[in-house]
Amino acid sequence: MSGWDNNQTVAQGAPGTDTPALTLEQAVDRITSTDPRFAVTEADIRGQRYPVFANAPAHLREVLQSVETVYGDRDVLVYGDERWDYPRLVNEVNRLARALSELGVRPGDRVALAMRNYPEFPLLLLAITAVGAVVVPMNAWWSGEELAFALEDCGARVVFADHDRYQRIEPFSKRLGLSLFAVRDVEGEHNYSDLLARVPEASWPTVSIDTDDDFAVLYSSGSTGRPKGVVLTHRGLVSAVYSLIMLRLLPALMDPEQPAPTRPPCSLVVTPLFHVTALNSNLIQGLAAGATLNLMYKWDPEEAIRIINAEQVTRFVGVPTQSAELMEAARRLNQPLPSLEFIGGGGAKRPAAQVGRLASAFPAASIASGWGMTETNALGIIISGDPYVENPEAAGRLTPPLQEMRIVDEQDRPLPPGEVGELLVRSAANMRCYLNQPEATAAAMRDGWLYTGDMARANEDGLVYIVDRKKDIIIRGGENIACLEVEDALYQHPEVAEACVFSVPDERLGEIVGAMVVLKQEGSVDEAELKACVAEHLAHFKVPERFWWQSGPLARGATDKIDRRAIRAACLSMQDSGHSDTDKSDTNKSTAATAAQGN
């Protein structure tokens, strides 16, 4: 099993020779000094000096242009029976780019994509960015209300949507002045297929794109309720993607005796492309590495096994729930999946107990996990192989060579190893800003450092453990959910007096949404009615799955704010003791109130 670790050494030369071994840091220095793709220099970015790749593509269009000879006659994109080799992919991207320009899309304009993992998503993304416009992926699970908010916030006037998203957007499209294009499984006034047919042939766009121009706006749930638009640049994207590609070279250097890959790189994209894990870490990294990219419309472990075997997939990256379900399905169907070389995790922390089981189930694959954010273009901390099996609770080590890291106290003083503080990261991969939120940007970005809101500790060797979240975020199967956003939806019900939302541990999804509710009139509302109320305003995955009920005021702290941690601890304690969380008896209510106030 391969892996990388700061304490391991990198053998240079053939096994058995007297060539001195290198530490990981020396190995990184060797790669950056001998491989022109990863040569490092410095650049001024928005008034700050950062390490950057000297020779990497300046923007996403150049990334696509740079891999023509890498692909040869192999497929780039696969979706069911549909296949795109490199010439077909480029032909359709350039035709779409010309059609968008004729439609009036200009550099800097924002174009929204509201769809599941159809192949039109990457084709449009590449075309939009090729003409210097900014792509805005919309969360496909959002309600119409949430979609309307994001479209107004980003100012997009051109939107591409599949059937379900089209039905949600169409009612307000005229009010917002949208040109709404129907994609694949729905017909509308404007259609993707008609747009593509307008231009039978086209060459590469010639519009100038600066490396520090905006590439995308990705929405990420924040602790303030409404999703925040994270503005990412082309340089940030390329910095993250090429750092991750360089990381893939390290295992072979660290263990020269491990067998070289015998299959061309091939990835299975199973998480939504509107999230940074699938978009940057899988799709665009795979494109830059010359991988064949297999898209799944919807997660199905048995279908994933069929695709892995049929396409000889080498790389699988999903949320921990998906890797666990893949493992169980492979055992049930007696499918060892020998082509898999890498099983990564993102979006949420993988349960420690799952790490060893995955390594046993897939001995030919390196099991990996990491930490990253939308704000970092998914770059951050990673761990894989034996070091991960030996340290399953760890998030990993900082990905070289462009990043810096600090763990600080409330006064921004760096903390020694072993002490818990807020994790800060600094690199050219970090976001430019939060869209339309200068105060939030100023709070998160200070002197070039991104204040992540995650609480962490690091040991003497630089191994990082994420121990808590400063922000009130629930991560359900890789989806970020703001507690305040769900509380706002609960308060839409006229009988809700107070509500406190928090995470509840879940074996399958990592976390689910729980809520403590105080009603104005006892017994006037049941769980089903509150769920229906939330579902009117928010996506289904944000609807609370567990409820606790209380007759008196919720517990509060010294500043009179609701004490979320105390309430959560009391409710989980009740759950562990066998009390029914849906039982609205006076005993249950008083127990909750007493426990919560007592913490």
User: What pLDDT score does 259 carry?
Assistant: 67
Q: Which DSSP symbol is given to 313?
A: -
User: What pLDDT score does 599 carry?
Assistant: 34
- Specify the range with the lowest mean pLDDT, choosing from 67-76, 429-438, 481-490: 481-490
User: What pLDDT score does 589 carry?
Assistant: 38
| CATH (one of 3.90.1150.10, 3.40.50.300, 3.30.720.200, 3.40.50.12780) for 234-469 | 3.40.50.12780
User: What pLDDT score does 256 carry?
Assistant: 66
User: What pLDDT score does 41 carry?
Assistant: 98
Are the folds of 234-469 and 473-598 the same? no
Q: Characterise 98 by phi-psi region: left (phi > 0), alpha (psi -120 to 50), beta (else).
A: alpha
Report the C-alpha gap between 297 and 115 in whole angstroms.
10
302 to 309, 321, 344, 495: CA distances (angstroms):
11, 14, 18, 44
pLDDT surpasses 50 at 467:
yes
> How many other CB atoms are there within 10 angstroms of residue 153's CB atom?
19
Kindly give the interhelix angle for 301-311 and 320-332, rounded to the nearest 10 degrees: 80
CB 452 within 8 A of CB 425: yes
Report the C-alpha gap between 107 and 366 in whole angstroms.
41
pLDDT surpasses 50 at 6:
no
Q: What digits encode the pLDDT tens for the residues 57-72?
A: 999 999 999 999 999 8
CB 230 within 8 A of CB 220: yes
> How many other CB atoms are there within 10 angstroms of residue 187's CB atom?
10
User: What pLDDT score does 383 carry?
Assistant: 95
Q: Please state whether the peptide bond connecting residue 261 to the residue before it is cis, i.e. omega within 30 degrees of 0.
A: no
Average pLDDT, the chain: 89
Name, in order, each residue with C-beta under 8 angstroms of 42's C-beta and a sequence gap of 6 or more: 49, 50, 51, 52
- Considering only residues 521 and 572, tell me which one the structure prediction assigns the higher pLDDT: 572
Report the C-alpha gap between 428 and 425 in whole angstroms.
10
- Considering only residues 429 and 6, tell me which one the structure prediction assigns the higher pLDDT: 429
| Cα–Cα nearest to 318, from 296, 290, 293, 347 | 347
Fold classification of 473-598 is GMP Synthetase; Chain A, domain 3 (3.30.300)
Mean pLDDT of 92-115: 98
428 to 338, 437, 535: CA distances (angstroms):
37, 20, 39
> How many other CB atoms are there within 10 angstroms of residue 214's CB atom?
22
pLDDT surpasses 70 at 591:
no
Task: Provide the edge-to-edge strand list for the sheet that holds 397-398.
Answer: 82-85, 75-79, 292-295, 266-269, 315-318, 342-345, 366-372, 380-384, 397-398
pLDDT surpasses 90 at 353:
no
- Considering only residues 343 and 14, tell me which one the structure prediction assigns the higher pLDDT: 343
User: What pLDDT score does 597 carry?
Assistant: 36
- Considering only residues 582 and 437, tell me which one the structure prediction assigns the higher pLDDT: 437
- Specify the range with the lowest mean pLDDT, choosing from 251-265, 290-304, 428-442, 582-596: 582-596
User: What pLDDT score does 514 carry?
Assistant: 97
CB 456 within 8 A of CB 419: no
Q: What digits encode the pLDDT tens for the residues 226-265?
A: 789 999 999 999 999 999 999 988 766 666 666 667 788 9
Mean pLDDT of 192-204: 96
User: What pLDDT score does 577 carry?
Assistant: 63
- Considering only residues 586 and 348, tell me which one the structure prediction assigns the higher pLDDT: 348
User: What pLDDT score does 472 carry?
Assistant: 79
| Residue ranges per structural domain of the chain | 93-209, 234-469, 473-598
Report the C-alpha gap between 546 and 514 in whole angstroms.
5
pLDDT surpasses 90 at 401:
yes
CATH architecture of 93-209: 3-Layer(aba) Sandwich (3.40)
SS (H, E, C) 137-194: ECCCCCCHHHHHHHHHHHCCCEEEECHHHHHHHHHHHCCCCCEEEECCCCCCCEEHHH
- Considering only residues 480 and 6, tell me which one the structure prediction assigns the higher pLDDT: 480
pLDDT classification of 592: cutoffs 50, 70, 90: very low
Report the C-alpha gap between 440 and 445 in whole angstroms.
9
CB 574 within 8 A of CB 566: no
CB 399 within 8 A of CB 244: yes
- Specify the range with the lowest mean pLDDT, choosing from 11-15, 251-255, 395-399: 11-15
Judged by DSSP in three states, 469 sits in strand
Mean pLDDT of 118-145: 97
User: What pLDDT score does 8 carry?
Assistant: 39
pLDDT classification of 426: cutoffs 50, 70, 90: very high
Report the C-alpha gap between 425 and 380 in whole angstroms.
8
- Specify the range with the lowest mean pLDDT, choosing from 321-325, 441-445, 582-586: 582-586
Mean pLDDT of 461-474: 86
Q: Write out the two tokens for 10.
A: 């990198």
- Max distance between CA atoms of the chain, in angstroms, equals 80
Name, in order, each residue with C-beta under 8 angstroms of 171's C-beta and a sequence gap of 6 or more: 144
DSSP 180-238: EEE-SS---SEEHHHHHHT-S----------TTSEEEEEEE--TTSS-EEEEEEHHHHH
Mean pLDDT of 82-111: 98
User: What pLDDT score does 587 carry?
Assistant: 31
CB 180 within 8 A of CB 166: yes
Percent of the chain with pLDDT strictly greater than 70? 89
Total residues found in the chain within this entry: 599
Phi, psi of 162, deg, nearest 5: -85, -175
> How many other CB atoms are there within 10 angstroms of residue 115's CB atom?
28
Report the C-alpha gap between 309 and 286 in whole angstroms.
19
Judged by DSSP in three states, 368 sits in strand
User: What pLDDT score does 341 carry?
Assistant: 95
Name, in order, each residue with C-beta under 8 angstroms of 56's C-beta and a sequence gap of 6 or more: 37, 238, 239, 242
Dihedral of the CA atoms 137, 140, 142, 146 (nearest 10)?
Answer: 30
Look at the block and give the residue holding tokens 């599941």.
Answer: 116
